[in-house]
Structure 1
Amino acid sequence: MRPSLPLTLAVLLFAATAIPTAAQEGGALSPRVVDEAAVPGVMAKAVDGFIIPGYRGLAEATVGLAETSAALCEAPSAAALEAARSAFSGVVRRWSAIEIIRLGPALEQNRFERFLFYPDRKSTGLKQVQAILAKEDESATQVESLKKKSVAVQGLGALEYVLYGTGAETLAGKDGAFRCRYGVAISENLKAIAGELLTEWERPDGIQAAWKKPGPDNPLFRDSREAATELLGILVHSVEMVKDQRLRPFYTGTLDGKPDKGRPRLAIYWRSVNTMAAISANLRALQMLFDTAGMESLLPADSRSIAGSINFLFKALIRAADRIEGPIDAALADENQRATLDFIALNTADLLDRFNREFGGAIGLGAGFSFADGD
């Protein structure tokens, strides 16, 4: 017999909170000082083991996308369109695995927004993309002129509409010629941005050097404490992003005290059915960064259980995200999948607290410090 919704959710919540917090184990955390000797090694592993491989994977995926997009234009067919869509989904996953590094080169030249313009709260970007398609604006089919246009018409959101939006079926035949050329220009633009990001991080004397060697002459981190703060801040702000920018727009559980029916068209990548795959990739990336960098080594010996509870939550959240398959509107209409969304929302908030309060407190970020508040 299938368990009722309250029982199912209660079991999930009990599983996610089964590991006690540090405060429960040993009382309130006393002020600590970050192990400065361990920080450079942690930062180096974050760069060499996570950031550079992540951007390398993104660059490779965008090359494949550009190639399949060009092939679609050269010989349009249903199979070629499916190949382009598959390549698009591959880029979404690769991007979702590295978009948490929203700093440095990603912020220069508006690279982040040019790669992904989201959220589009007033559908401004959508209207601009639709106008380009309606007018058949040839300037949007050349990378150099496209990159000078609004960030909303040159990235993943625009390409998703090209491949999946109203009229996308024309891409399988000759009637979609302009639409296809626009899609190729977006794909080439994404390839160029991904290549720039990788190049900037691979430069030995660039940002990776600043990450690996905190010190008084470092332009980014005057000491190891500042470096550790940046790294932990990535985790805190990214978990907050998943909670507030990926989940909350389309589902809150309750709305004005009533069960929330959801707003599927506000979900990221809803047209291409990549919403939960992207969220899962975000969570996997965060866990990979945490583990690959060896952030547990920053914790005092008597607080190492914090890392265990964080990894436990990561695993539970990733499993939950992977259970939601298919269109997001179908998930919102299913009682069990809504319970899973409730679980993800509640435990993402718990994960945020464990990073922000427990981990930060344990490595000496001081009482009252809050990444989430930007203090």
Structure 2
Amino acid sequence: MFRPKLLFTSLAALALGACSPQDPQAVTSAAIAKSVILPTYTRWVEADRQLAVSALAYCEGKETLETARADFLHAQKAWAELQPLLIGPLAEGNRSWQVQFWPDKKNLVGRQVEQLVTAQPQIDAAALAKSSVVVQGLSAYEYILFDSKPDVANAEQKSKYCPLLIAIGERQKQLAEEILQTWNNTDGMLAQMSKFPNQRYADSHEAIADLLRVQVTAIDTLKKKLGTPMGRQSKGVPQPFQADAWRSQASLTSLEASLAAARTVWEGVDNKGLRGLLPSEQKPLADKIDAAYAASLKLFAGNQRSLTDMLNDEAGRQQLNELYDSLNVVHRLHEADLAKALGIQLGFNANDGD
């Protein structure tokens, strides 16, 4: 017997099912992957393509040392912006060390570059890829362009180091392009952060948890990159040569770029970041994290001195302490309060035991 009322009820249920709101964690994971992470990886690839062109132009005498150094700083900043986004292939298989070797407690970069230019004076990118990670990336590139020992302002010295400089530029370009391609593959990270379940994540909550873990580890690493040269691990004795990018005096600008990138994951585009996952009753926490990012970034922006210079006087050291404390606030809010509010168990991070 035909029951129009029952049919209507069934159709209504189907319509409601079709209009049901998407899983907010899945929406956020996909949005962060597409609108925050992917554009940052793309800028990194573009910066490394320019680095490869720059190395060749500089070594052919078509570009000044100042321009070559500026291209390095651009690539260094693009890499710094990736620090809070090291999720997926770039975080695996020591790949990040192939881009930048830190910490370098025993000047391995300087020593191994010198050994390599003597042992393989005409090295190319293919041979470099089989060499130590210490000499493949930005740390070795920075050593050649900025350290006093290579002294590339001298034409004879420049010709000695140029094959390695060109090889590093090409190696970094190839690595960046390879990583971006794996992100965009059919079953790459972009797909894995957008549709669930998949081979990496059982559900969207796992992806959000992974994003937060990477954030927490990255902000903790920023504290280490600042605290180590300040002497926080050496009984208050400053260790300026333990800073990230100390030769180019880019330590603080790199830290600032990393922190600003971390904030993009928190805020998202069109409020589709981690912040948007907090329910309305958690607004006080969201406001706290907003304020913590703003306060720390304001301290970075207000400083015009290099890290090495600031370690030399009491006023500078006090400013560095304030910077460190501000990073610590951002870190603790993510590690404890935000993780709890999102129902995420963080477990150990990559820096535990350092």
TM-score norm. by structure 2 comes to 0.86
Paired position in structure 2 for 1:337: 316
Q: What CA distance in whole angstroms lies between the structure 2 residues aligned with 1:317 and 1:270? A: 21
Which one of 72, 96, 111 corresponds to residue 95 of structure 2?
111
Q: What CA distance in whole angstroms lies between the structure 2 residues aligned with 1:202 and 1:255? A: 43
Paired position in structure 2 for 1:240: 220
- Paired residues of 2:52 and 2:169 also in contact (CA < 8 A): yes
Say whether 1:138 aligns with 2:121: yes
* Equivalent AA in structure 1 for residue 41 of structure 2: Y
Deviations 1:309-358 (A, max 9, x none): 11211111112123333432211123333222111211222211111111
Paired position in structure 1 for 2:3: none
- Paired residues of 1:72 and 1:80 also in contact (CA < 8 A): yes
Paired position in structure 1 for 2:43: 57
Identity %: 26
TM-score norm. by structure 1 comes to 0.81
- 1:371 Cα deviation from its structure 2 partner: 5.2
Higher CA-based Rg: 2
Structure 1 pair 229–371 and aligned structure 2 pair: CA distance change class (3 A): farther
Which residues of 2 match residues 25-174 of structure 1 at below 5 A? 37-75=23-61, 80-133=64-117, 135=118, 137-138=120-121, 141-171=123-153, 173-174=155-156
Q: What CA distance in whole angstroms lies between the structure 2 residues aligned with 1:341 and 1:121? A: 21
Structure 1 pair 121–36 and aligned structure 2 pair: CA distance change class (3 A): farther
- 1:175 Cα deviation from its structure 2 partner: 3.9
Q: What CA distance in whole angstroms lies between the structure 1 residues aligned with 2:234 and 2:94? A: 34
* Equivalent AA in structure 1 for residue 205 of structure 2: R
Q: What CA distance in whole angstroms lies between the structure 2 residues aligned with 1:227 and 1:236? A: 14
Q: What CA distance in whole angstroms lies between the structure 1 residues aligned with 2:189 and 2:42? A: 16
Report the 3-state secondary structure (helix = DSSP H, G, I; strand = E; otherwise coil) of the residue aligned with 2:85: coil
Paired position in structure 1 for 2:205: 225
- Paired residues of 1:136 and 1:178 also in contact (CA < 8 A): no
> Unpaired segments of 5 or more residues in structure 1?
1-34
- 1:272 Cα deviation from its structure 2 partner: 0.4
- Paired residues of 2:29 and 2:194 also in contact (CA < 8 A): yes
Q: What CA distance in whole angstroms lies between the structure 2 residues aligned with 1:163 and 1:361? A: 46
Report the 3-state secondary structure (helix = DSSP H, G, I; strand = E; otherwise coil) of the residue aligned with 1:219: coil
Paired position in structure 1 for 2:18: none
Q: What CA distance in whole angstroms lies between the structure 1 residues aligned with 2:143 and 2:344? A: 44
- 1:297 Cα deviation from its structure 2 partner: 2.1
* Equivalent AA in structure 2 for residue 186 of structure 1: I
Paired position in structure 2 for 1:354: 333
Q: What CA distance in whole angstroms lies between the structure 2 residues aligned with 1:304 and 1:154? A: 45
Deviations 1:290-310 (A, max 9, x none): 111421221121002212211
Say whether 1:250 aligns with 2:229: yes
Q: What CA distance in whole angstroms lies between the structure 1 residues aligned with 2:68 and 2:239? A: 27
- 1:126 Cα deviation from its structure 2 partner: 2.6
Paired position in structure 2 for 1:193: 175
- 1:370 Cα deviation from its structure 2 partner: 4.6
- Paired residues of 1:66 and 1:184 also in contact (CA < 8 A): yes
Report the 3-state secondary structure (helix = DSSP H, G, I; strand = E; otherwise coil) of the residue aligned with 1:98: helix
* Equivalent AA in structure 1 for residue 49 of structure 2: V
Say whether 1:291 aligns with 2:277: no
Q: What CA distance in whole angstroms lies between the structure 2 residues aligned with 1:236 and 1:267? A: 20
- 1:173 Cα deviation from its structure 2 partner: 2.4
Paired position in structure 1 for 2:285: 306
- 1:36 Cα deviation from its structure 2 partner: 8.6
- 1:131 Cα deviation from its structure 2 partner: 1.6
What RMSD, in angstroms, separates the aligned Cα atoms of the two structures? Answer: 2.2
Paired position in structure 2 for 1:21: none
* Equivalent AA in structure 2 for residue 364 of structure 1: G
Report the 3-state secondary structure (helix = DSSP H, G, I; strand = E; otherwise coil) of the residue aligned with 2:152: helix
Paired position in structure 2 for 1:184: 166
- Paired residues of 1:171 and 1:179 also in contact (CA < 8 A): no
Say whether 1:266 aligns with 2:211: no
User: Once structures 1 and 2 are overlaid, which stretch shifts more, 274-283 or 66-75?
Assistant: 66-75
Q: What CA distance in whole angstroms lies between the structure 2 residues aligned with 1:101 and 1:40? A: 17
Q: What CA distance in whole angstroms lies between the structure 1 residues aligned with 2:110 and 2:211? A: 34
Q: What CA distance in whole angstroms lies between the structure 2 residues aligned with 1:202 and 1:43? A: 15
* Equivalent AA in structure 1 for residue 134 of structure 2: A
Deviations 1:77-98 (A, max 9, x none): xx61111100000000000001
